[in-house]
Structure formats: structure tokens, C-alpha cells
Amino acid sequence: MTAAMPLDGLIPSHTGKVRDLYAIGDDEVLIVASDRISAFDRVLETPIPDKGTILTQLSLWWYQQLASIVPNHLVTAEVDDYPPDLRKLGSALRDRSMLCQRVEMIPIEAVARGYLSGSAWTEYQLDGAVCGISLPTGLVEGARLPEPIFTPATKAPAGEHDRNIGYPELVERIGAETAEELRDLTLAVYLHAQEITGKHQILLADTKLEFGLLDNGTLMLADEVLTPDSSRFWPADEWAPGGPQPSYDKQYVRDWLSSAESGWDPASADPPPPLPPDVVGQTRARYMEAYERLTGRPL
């Protein structure tokens, strides 16, 4: 069971792999990003220092960059503007929390991919397709796709695996109109973000977005956006199709957990081992570099 961050007087309404959610009145929710890190659908016991702050500040930066593309559910991230009961927790909430409008979350991971990696590479090797989308033959791991594709996935509980699904199943789950809007917005966000990351010599290989609905049916961007937890960021000058790519995301942790050095099998039921200090430090440095390269400012 994932433990929430201790906040005096507050009980989380939901504890995720990384974030804790607190209901604030009837219309708002407080989202607090911890320093927890997950890999292979497991929450690791070793935190990454400052990770929650990096994720929150980068999400806020992206909300600004994407404002012309899609609305979002942010109310404020300024602790001094929070309700009085929250302001007294300022030291714990500052820089790692967002007060947001409550929305009905779409129970789907909205994924856009421009490169062949991760579960998409695994699927492609089986039948030359990803989420039912046929791709050209002869592609290698890390290859650029002819055009970005939308590959939705189910949202699994902690400890279980998300499952890629085809567009027809998405329609069955959320309806044709919402499915079409979700696909179009996801690809629009990806294409716009890809232009921005490219200016900073970063390839946005793929990204996972979350959306929610207002009572009036408006689809809004929610939760974290284009962070190293939800995206694959690759150094453009090091891109070399044909295998795994250097990255500014948690792939470094996945690679260590999969290595002989860790002594752990990701397919086993055993809990993951603690991360050694050098892996923690290298992972923090990658998250920090992604933030600083994209925003152009220190954390």
C-alpha cells in the first residue's frame, strides 16, 4: 500500500503511485506530488529528492505553454492563495502542490507517440502494429514514426499493469464523441509540445496525458503534464535508432532494476530492491536537467 505524505489534519481522498489527492470543499481538490517513484507498476521504497517539486513546477510551466490548445483544471499553485486551513501547511505544500477544480476523470491514459519505444516497441515486434495501428515494416527500437499516433491505455490500480487498447475499445468505454475529442486533443498537445521540446534539443518520444470532464461536458487537461514521469525525453544530439535511448526520465531507474546488478526480476512478485545512492543521484540529475533545459530557469 502506498503511503501518503503526512499532512497534519488532512486525510487523502486518494493516494496514487506518486500523488496524493485531498478533497477541498465540494468543488476543488488539492494535488500534492511526493518524491515517490514508480517503475514496472511498483512504487519503490527509495524516494528521489525534490522529484515532487520538479514534477509540479514543470506541469505548471506546461499548463502555460498549452493554454491556447486545451483548458486545464488548475485554480492556483500559490500557497498564499489557498484556503486558511491549507495555508498553515505552507512549508509542506509549497512548490509541490496544486489547488485544482474537481473534474470527472476519464479512466483512460491518453498516450501520444512519435517514436517507437516501451510497450509500443514490444507490441510492434509481435505483429507490426500498436493498438491496432499498422506501422511500416522494418522499424527498429527508437525509430521515428511516419506520424504521431494515439495509443490509449487502461488505468490500472497500483501493482497492476496498464493495458494498451485499440480505438474501438476506447469508443466502447467512453463513447464515440468523447473518444474522438480525447484523441484529437492528445495529438494536438503532443505536436505543440514536440515543437517546444525541439527548440531545446530534446526529442519528445511519447507522453501520457490525463483528462477530466466538467459537468457541462468540457474536456480539460488534468494532473501532471509532460513530466519525466509521464513522458520520454531524449537528448536530440544522442538519438540513435536501433536500441534504448539516453533519456531525461525514469528509464534510468527501469534499466537499473532490470539489470543483473539489482538482482531483481520485474516479472516476479517480489518487491523491488532499494535504489543505490548513485542511481538516486543520477535520476534526480536527469529530472533536474529536463526541467532546466525546457524552462530555461533553475528550480
Residues 113 and 246 in one domain: yes
CB 203 within 8 A of CB 103: no
Per-residue pLDDT of 195-215, as tens digits, reads: 999 999 999 999 999 999 999
- Please report whether residue 2 resides in a domain: no
- Please report whether residue 126 resides in a domain: yes
- Please report whether residue 244 resides in a domain: yes
Last residue of a domain, one of 102, 134, 169: 102
Residues 258 and 178 in one domain: yes
- Please report whether residue 21 resides in a domain: yes
Instruction: Please state, in angstroms and rounded to a whole number, the distance separating the CA atoms of residues 60 and 272.
Output: 31
**Low-confidence spans in the chain with pLDDT less than 70:** 1-6, 8, 157-160
Residues 129 and 245 in one domain: yes
Residues 178 and 250 in one domain: yes
Quick one: pLDDT at residue 4? Answer: 60
- Please report whether residue 1 resides in a domain: no
Last residue of a domain, one of 50, 67, 102: 102
| CATH code, 86 | 3.30.200.20
Say what percent of the chain tops pLDDT 90.
88
Per-residue pLDDT of 250-263, as tens digits, reads: 888 999 999 999 99
Residues 89 and 237 in one domain: no
Per-residue pLDDT of 109-150, as tens digits, reads: 999 999 999 999 999 999 999 999 999 999 999 999 999 999
Residues 267 and 132 in one domain: yes
Residues 128 and 94 in one domain: no
> What global pTM score does this model have?
0.93
Last residue of a domain, one of 73, 102, 131: 102
Residues 245 and 152 in one domain: yes
Quick one: pLDDT at residue 299? Answer: 87
- Please report whether residue 4 resides in a domain: no
Residues 94 and 233 in one domain: no
- Over the chain, what HEC string results? CCCCCCCCCCCCCEECCCEEEEEECCCEEEEEECCCCEECCEECCCCCCCHHHHHHHHHHHHHHHCCCCCCECEEECCHHHCCHHHHCCHHHHCCCEEEEECCEECCEEEEEEEECCHHHHHHHHHHCEECCEECCCCCCCCCEEEEEEECCEECCCCCCCCCECCHHHHHHHHCHHHHHHHHHHHHHHHHHHHHHHHHCCEEEEEEEEEEEECCCCCEEEECCCCCCCCEEEEEHHHCCCCCCCCCCCCHHHHHHHHCCCCCCCCCCCCCCCCCCHHHHHHHHHHHHHHHHHHHCCCC
- Please report whether residue 148 resides in a domain: yes
Residues 150 and 88 in one domain: no
Quick one: pLDDT at residue 1? Answer: 41
Residues 193 and 87 in one domain: no
Residues 262 and 212 in one domain: yes
| CATH code, 195 | 3.30.470.20
Mean pLDDT of the chain: 94
What domain range is 176 assigned to?
105-271+281-295
Task: Count up the domains in the chain and report the number.
Answer: 2
Quick one: pLDDT at residue 244? Answer: 92
- Please report whether residue 134 resides in a domain: yes
